[in-house]
Amino acid sequence: DNPPAMMGPARVVASPSLPLLRSRRLASPGFLLAGAAILSATALSVFSFLSNGHAQNVGAPAAAGLQARTIGGVPGVGMRQYLSGLKGKGMAAFGGERGIRAKIPSPSAVEIGVEDTTSTQTSVSPLDSETAGALYEDMHLGRKFEDATAQWYQRGKVFGFVHLANGQEAISSGAIKQLRPDDYICSTYRDHIHALSKGCDPKEVMAELFAKKTGICNGQGGSMHMFSKKHNMLGGFAFIGEGIPVALGAAFQTRYRRDALKDPNADQVTLAFFGDGTSNVGQFAECLNMASLYKLPIVFVVENNLWAIGMYHYRATAPHLGDQLPHIYKKGPAFGMPGVNVDGMDVVAVREAIGKAVARARAGEGPTLIEAETYRYRGHSLADPDQLRSPEEKERFAKMDPIEKFRAYCLENNLLTEEQLKEYENKAEAKVQEAVEFADNSPKPDKSQLLNNVFADPKGFGVDENGKYRYQNPDFMAKSAAAGLQQ
Amino acid sequence: MLMFRRGSRRLRNFRTLSSEARMKTKADSLAEQKSYRTMNLFTAVNDAMDIAMEQDDEVIVFGEDVKFGGVFRCCIGLNEKYGDERVFNTPLCEQGIIGFGIGAAAAGAKPVAEIQFADYIHPAFDQIVNEAAKYRYRSGNEFNSGGLTIRTPYGAVGHGGLYHSQSPEAYFCHSAGIKVVVPRSPAQAKGLLLSSIFAPDPVLFMEPKWLYRTAVEEVMEGDYRIPLDSAEVIREGTDVTVIGWGAQLQVLTKAADEAKANHGISCEIIDLRTLSPWDEDTVIESVEKTGRCVVSHEAPLQGGFGAEIASTIQEKCFYHLQAPIKRVCGYDTPFPLAFEKFYVPDHLKNYDAIVNVVEESC
């Protein structure tokens, strides 16, 4: 089928080919040195973990050669220096091999597969105190909310399969807080903080976790299915990869309204969040292709936290030809869109990278694939004993806590004072406390809600023996002995 | 290789024999000499795979997270014993996993593919229904995917919600060419899984996840097979035939006990074991004897496999029936989160059905 005529001829976004990339990289002496260090380190680590591959509890690749995270090769270089090195380079900087973040702020730092977009895009607005405060509060809210969820899960009020996003707050806050209210987001089962960042009321989200009637989905969905029409949150998907085509459809609808229905205000952007394991699902490839073909206003955000339950990213995804380790962002150019790697523990970098991608999409220049490297501090779900990841790996990433980093950044750059930060923390904690109380005191859903919303028309349940619509019969549930059961 | 033979029809009509005497077969006598071990469902499944892999080099096990043992511990120890070439993780792509399994089977392997939850089997639906089920047919027996066994946990678990509780057996029973097998207990699971792995047809082996830890039984050690395509009468009775499979039999047994205690109703309980193709003869013979039938499954009512059973019974036993056939199933809604207790066909609903079907009969 040809795409509808309104789309115009499909234009493939030009991306630099690999040989060109390599030669540009080698041109920089600073990079050569760092590159050599990276290559030798990763070669060592890759070969040693390949030979250790049979060990059941392999955590990160054998630690040989992998250094603690540095910037510019110098430990402890601050955010400001790092960001100043990025100025004027368009999209956020490339990422090094996992675990070695040798971001070299040199003039020849390369954006992978990106056209020069600085001429057409408005740059991301600089971080001021108010924005920083909002970001900090949101990240803190996310962290405290997830901790409260875990607490109440132990106490039996939250039940089912619950997946917490401790450690991934920078991506949620950095990406979502800058969106407009009418922009869409589509998430995964790790969706509590996405819902919060998008503006959903923590009270309603917590009530949904408690499966109460006042929950954001009336208690129908639970932890993995946060939806909000008001905030344009398209879910919450228990099934990995299922959300990506849904996000694509929403992005298509925006384009349709703009081009076919001639609505000049239709410039919403859709963000699709998913994980590293999902980049191997067929729907990922299908959607990247369609997004590029139809030039849809969508940004694909990969939250690469290295683990898909028990499957380590490096053992689950094949590397790009010529690489030692897999990089998901490199799949973008193959499908005709820029691929960008960003440090997912750095909310400022995430905000910038996604801000630019969103501006691109809003201007009608098509999709972007962004890989944000992060880590989850808790297990896959609250039922996961989290025995597969090595303590060394967990410790290494615990040092990169995004909230601590941003806190230090705000203080260092005089964006917020200690008192202001504390105030935001207290606000966040108060919201969580309020949410828990609200959820606890809310009523459970009525039994009759079981039949709601299967079809649009409740009469879809048909007529019972008495000639009345089934849903109208108050005894529908009461007739059986099961009606006497306590919920 | 021990086979639990079903007695022939003629033998079973000898009501003078007590059920113990009738049930004792040559296989049972041999079984008494074997050793037994206490196992739960996941240990039994693990044991079956271990035995299969030891016997036949062509057996390979793969799926998501199987290498560390699987999220339900069914594959514990297999990677250590048989190595990375035979027990390995796949990336997250159900369609790829099953398609890959079909191809491997066509080339001679005996893959045991795990789908982490039956709810996730739907991306692979196309491969199962369009490829696995039709491979032998459309190639005129040039090739077949008989070596393929797909293992997947199904069913309600108390807190699963929409996507960790589904029972999708009906979709696959509708595709001839693939067998659907559901064990009710650890001992049955081991024998049925061993038969499934070595069956010449592709098998979808659905394990009731609720029973993984809760069902504990003395399971015979070593290799034994339980024949596919045969149902088992697990309790003899005279008044009502009660049909189910998998974890639902626990529920049905409880309901039958209560019906016996309160109303003196004697239920004949049948475990179908293989849903496709299903053992019509055993069921028909039973309904001809009792004249009443209750079918129960967790899957939703409309289009569930109970509909096929009810339809066949009314067709073949119409003149023996004394009351309409009752189906006690899940409601026609997605599997709910907060309403699970109301949704599932529990022992109370089944008790009601059993009592009503007796009271309503002519």
C-alpha dist (Å) from residue B241 to A166, A203, B213, B291: 53, 50, 29, 8
Count of CB atoms situated within 10 Å of the CB of A81: 12
Amino acid at A405: K
Residue B24 pLDDT more than 70? no
Contact B348 A161 (CB under 8 A): no
And the tokens for A321? 């030809």
And the tokens for A481? 């002995």
C-alpha dist (Å) from residue A91 to A73, A94, A123, A368, B128: 21, 9, 10, 11, 44
User: pLDDT exceeding 90 applies to what percent of chain B?
Assistant: 86
Q: Is B267 helix (H, G, I), strand (E, B) or coil?
A: strand
Phi, psi of A432 (to 5 degrees): -65, -45
**pLDDT value of position A449:** 77
Is pTM beyond 0.80? Reply is no
Contact A277 B89 (CB under 8 A): no
Chain A contact present for B347, CB below 8 A: no
Contact B331 A211 (CB under 8 A): no
Gap from B19 CA to chain A (nearest CA, Å): 33
And the tokens for A21? 């990339």
Closest B-chain CA to A279: B92
H or E, element range at A368: strand A368-373
Angstrom distance (rounded) from CA A225 to CA A191: 8
Chain A contact present for B85, CB below 8 A: no
Q: Name B60's bridge partners.
A: B111
Chain A contact present for B161, CB below 8 A: yes
Chain A contact present for B262, CB below 8 A: no
Angstrom distance (rounded) from CA A234 to CA A250: 9
Count of CB atoms situated within 10 Å of the CB of B160: 22
H or E, element range at B234: strand B232-235
Angstrom distance (rounded) from CA B358 to CA A389: 58
Amino acid at A412: E
8 A C-beta contact, residue A392 and residue A58:
no
**Which residue has tokens 């949150």?**
A233
Of B337, B341, B342, the CB nearest to A211: B337
Interface probe for B, chosen from A454, A480, A485 (most Cβ of B below 10 Å), is A480
Extended beta strands in A45-124, E state:
none
**pLDDT value of position B34:** 81
Gap from B267 CA to chain A (nearest CA, Å): 20
B49-76 pLDDT, tens per residue? 999 999 999 999 999 999 999 999 999 9
User: Using a CB-CB distance cutoff of 8 angstroms, which residues of chain B are in contact with residue A159?
Assistant: 159
Q: Does the N-terminal peptide bond of residue B123 adopt cis geometry, omega within 30 degrees of 0?
A: no
Angstrom distance (rounded) from CA B184 to CA B353: 22
User: Using a CB-CB distance cutoff of 8 angstroms, which residues of chain A are in contact with residue B120?
Assistant: 239
Contact A56 B68 (CB under 8 A): yes
B335-350 pLDDT, tens per residue? 999 899 999 999 999 9
Angstrom distance (rounded) from CA A342 to CA A402: 13
Amino acid at A295: K
Contact A277 B91 (CB under 8 A): yes
Contact B93 A317 (CB under 8 A): no
* A214: alpha, beta or left? (left if phi > 0; alpha if psi -120 to 50): alpha
Q: List, as ranges, residues 118-137 from B with C-beta within 8 Å of A.
A: 119-120, 123
Closest C-alpha among A383, A193, A158 to residue B338: A158
Dihedral, CA of residue B164, residue B169, residue B170 and residue B172, to nearest 10: 120
| DSSP, res B200 | S
DSSP-assigned states of every residue in B237-258: -SSEEEEE-TTHHHHHHHHHHH
- Residue B101's pLDDT band, with cuts at 50, 70 and 90, is very high
Of B68, B336, B349, the CB nearest to A310: B68
Angstrom distance (rounded) from CA B149 to CA B198: 9
H or E, element range at B298: strand B293-300
And the tokens for B248? 């639902």
And the tokens for B211? 């029973």
And the tokens for A205? 């989200």
**Active-site residue set of B:** 94, 164
Average pLDDT over residues B212-239: 96
Gap from A220 CA to chain B (nearest CA, Å): 6
Angstrom distance (rounded) from CA A298 to CA A302: 13
Closest C-alpha among A367, A356, A359 to residue A252: A367
Contact A240 B159 (CB under 8 A): no
Task: Write out residues in chain A with pLDDT < 70, as ranges.
Answer: 1-123, 456-465, 469-487
Closest A-chain CA to B159: A160
Count Cα atoms within 13 angstroms, Cβ side, for B301: 13
Average pLDDT over residues B276-287: 96
Average pLDDT over residues B322-328: 96
User: Using a CB-CB distance cutoff of 8 angstroms, which residues of chain A are in contact with residue B65?
Assistant: 309-311
8 A C-beta contact, residue A204 and residue A195:
no
Residue B14 pLDDT more than 60? no
Contact B341 A485 (CB under 8 A): yes
Closest B-chain CA to A161: B160
Chain B contact present for A456, CB below 8 A: no
C-alpha dist (Å) from residue A393 to A67, A314, A403, B105: 12, 14, 19, 39
Chain A contact present for B348, CB below 8 A: yes
8 A C-beta contact, residue B339 and residue A450:
yes
Of A211, A481, A487, the CB nearest to B352: A481
